[in-house]
Amino acid sequence: MECSQFKANLIDFRQGTLEEELHRSANLHLSSCPSCSRLMKGLDEVDELIEREKALDPGPFVATRILQRIDREFETPVAIKTPGWIRVLQPVAVALALICGILIGSNASKSDGVPADNLAKTTDNIEFLRSNLYISDFMDEDKVLDLNK
Amino acid sequence: MTEPELIKGILQRDHRAFECLVNRYQKQVIKTASYFLGNMEDAEDLSQEIFIDIIYSINSFKQNSSLSTWIYRITVNKSLNMVKKQQRRGIMVRLESLFSHSAEHHTRHDPEPSISPDGVAEQEKRQLLHAAINRLPENQRIAFVLHKFDDQSYKQIAEIMKTGLPAVESLIHRAKLNLQQKLMYQFSEYKKT
């Protein structure tokens, strides 16, 4: 058998599917041809390499990482189911609360300043204390004057 | 969980179904992807995208074949796309290194100190093998990898590739011949006489 014929039948030879006669002559050629035996050795090495690669297994925590990735992808926020009428009433209630707040606020601001009646009453009280209890330094005159302003 | 229950669960986005899917098919997906990509780490990363894809496209699964066959198809397609991306990236890196006059910096990879010389040789051989496989025409590559690495029968490969048995036989035979040609000079210092 020639090298070219050996190479042409190499796949079948390696698979063991070559006819008996051809297989025998291929074996004979292999034992006498260094280059074809090197080729055979190289292909055997490829097969061994593939077998070693097939034996490799994924890491132990891969499943956890895949599941975490899936959880992140399909994570949906928990929707709180509210009846329709609540969804309508909520903005109305907020608007009412706002109006009430504004009204209370404006009323409060009206009564916030010191009215003139109150000032007059305060001055009268001071005068009463001065005259009846003889307390001259009960209140600083300047402050009273400021209040009167 | 039976296959129809699993499919129903995935459609309903049930977490238990996701768990079952991952536990049942993770090894198949990762190992097949690693045979195309040539390394386990990339395959593990890609497997996440593959499972997301499976869940999103489960409603397109017509149940004409087994779920496993359908998952094989998705895995093969995603892996081939990833190989193409990596090849494009490789071309870009080589171009960049050409223009930046730092080719040595980009292409020289010092072996990791923890790996023995035998380990480095093994890695180099594996890279050579996968480079040769990746130069095969796509159909030959799929048929060869599924047959030789994944131990799939010709019938299963025909189902995965949606083709006939004779076509698969022919693809695998041509792939072996091509690989033989590509690898004969790289392994065992074989020189053509």
For residue A142, count other CB atoms closer than 10 A to its CB. Answer: 8
What pLDDT is stored for residue A142 in this prediction? Answer: 59
Q: Which two tokens stand for residue A13?
A: 């030879």
- Range of the structural domain that residue A5 is part of: 1-75
pLDDT given at position A11: 83
- The predicted model scores a pTM of 0.68
Question: Domain end: B109, B141, B158, which one?
Answer: B109
ipTM over 0.85: no
The minimal CB distance from B188 to the residues A42, A52, A58 is found for: A42
What is the Cα–Cα distance from B23 to B26, expressed in whole angstroms? 6
Question: Any long-range contacts for B163-169 (C-beta under 8 Å, 24+ apart)?
Answer: B168/B143
Give the end of a domain, one of A60, A75, A90: A75
Question: Which of A75, A98, A124 is the C-terminal boundary of a domain?
Answer: A75
pLDDT at B111: 44
Of A46, A75, A104, the one marking the end of a domain is A75
Query: How much is the pLDDT for B36?
Result: 93
- For residue B27, what are its two tokens? 């090894």
How many domains is chain B built from?
2
Cβ neighbours of residue A11 closer than 8 Å, sequence gap 6 or more: B173, B176, B177, B180
The pLDDT of residue A38 is above 70: yes
Q: What is the CATH number of the domain that holds B3?
A: 1.10.1740.10
- B22 burial class (0-12, 13-18, 19+ CB within 10 angstroms)? buried
B76, B109, B142: which is the final residue of a domain? B109
Check A70 against B43: CB less than 8 A apart. Answer: no
Q: Are residues A56 and A9 in the same domain?
A: yes
* Residue A87 domain flag: no
End position of a domain, from candidates B77, B109, B141: B109
CA B114 vs CA A53, B117, B118, B119: distances in Å: 20, 10, 11, 9
Cross-chain residue pair A58–B40, CB shorter than 8 Å: yes
Q: For residue range A96-122, list pLDDT tens digits in order.
A: 999 999 988 888 766 555 555 666 677
Number of structural domains found in chain A: 2
Cβ-defined contact of A41 to B188 (cutoff 8 Å): yes
Q: A135 in contact with B at a CB cutoff of 8 Å?
A: no
| B96 shares its domain with B127 | no
Rounded to whole angstroms, how far apart are CA atoms B39 and B127?
9
Query: Helices in B38-164 by DSSP H: which ranges?
Result: 40-56, 67-99, 103-107, 117-134, 138-144, 154-161
Q: Is A30 on the interface with B (CB under 8 A)?
A: no
Does residue B120 share a domain with residue B86? no
Query: Average pLDDT by consecutive 10-residue portion of chain B (193 residues)?
Result: 92 92 95 92 95 94 90 95 87 71 51 52 83 92 94 94 93 90 66 44
Q: Which residues of B touch A (CB under 8 A)?
A: 13, 15, 18-19, 22-23, 26-27, 30-31, 34-35, 40, 43-44, 47-48, 51-52, 55, 122, 125-126, 129, 148-149, 151, 173, 176-177, 179-180, 183-184, 186-193
> Given this model, what pLDDT does residue B164 score?
93
Indicate yes or no: CB of A58 within 8 angstroms of CB of B122.
Answer: no
Chains A & B: contacts with CB separation below 8 Å: 100
- Is residue A64 situated within a structural domain? yes
Distance from CA of B3 to the nearest CA of A (A): 19
| Alpha-carbon span A68 to A48, nearest angstrom | 36
The verdict on A64 and A3 lying in the same domain is yes
Q: Is the pLDDT of residue A143 over 80?
A: no
Asked if the C-beta of A63 comes within 8 angstroms of chain B's C-beta atoms, the answer is yes
Q: Quote the pLDDT of residue B191.
A: 46
- What residues of chain B lie within 8 A of the CB of A73, using their CB? 52, 55
Q: How many CB atoms lie within 10 A of CB B130?
A: 19
Interface probe for A, chosen from B28, B40, B186 (most Cβ of A below 10 Å), is B40
Inter-chain contact A57–B15, Cβ cutoff 8 Å?
Answer: no
Whether residue B153 sits in one domain with residue B95: no
Q: At what angle do helices B154-161 and B165-183 cross, to 10 degrees?
A: 100
Same domain, A16 and A68: yes
Strand residue runs (E) in chain A: none
Q: Do B18 and A70 touch (CB under 8 A)?
A: yes
pLDDT tens column, A59-94:
889 999 999 999 998 876 555 566 777 778 888 899
Residue A84: is it exposed, middle or buried by C-beta count within 10 angstroms (0-12/13-18/19+)? exposed
Greatest pairwise CA separation for chain B in angstroms: 64
For residue B100, give its domain range.
Answer: 1-109
Residues of B in contact with A43 (CB under 8 A): 180, 183-184, 187
Q: Is residue A88 part of a domain?
A: no
* CATH number of B147's domain: 1.10.10.10
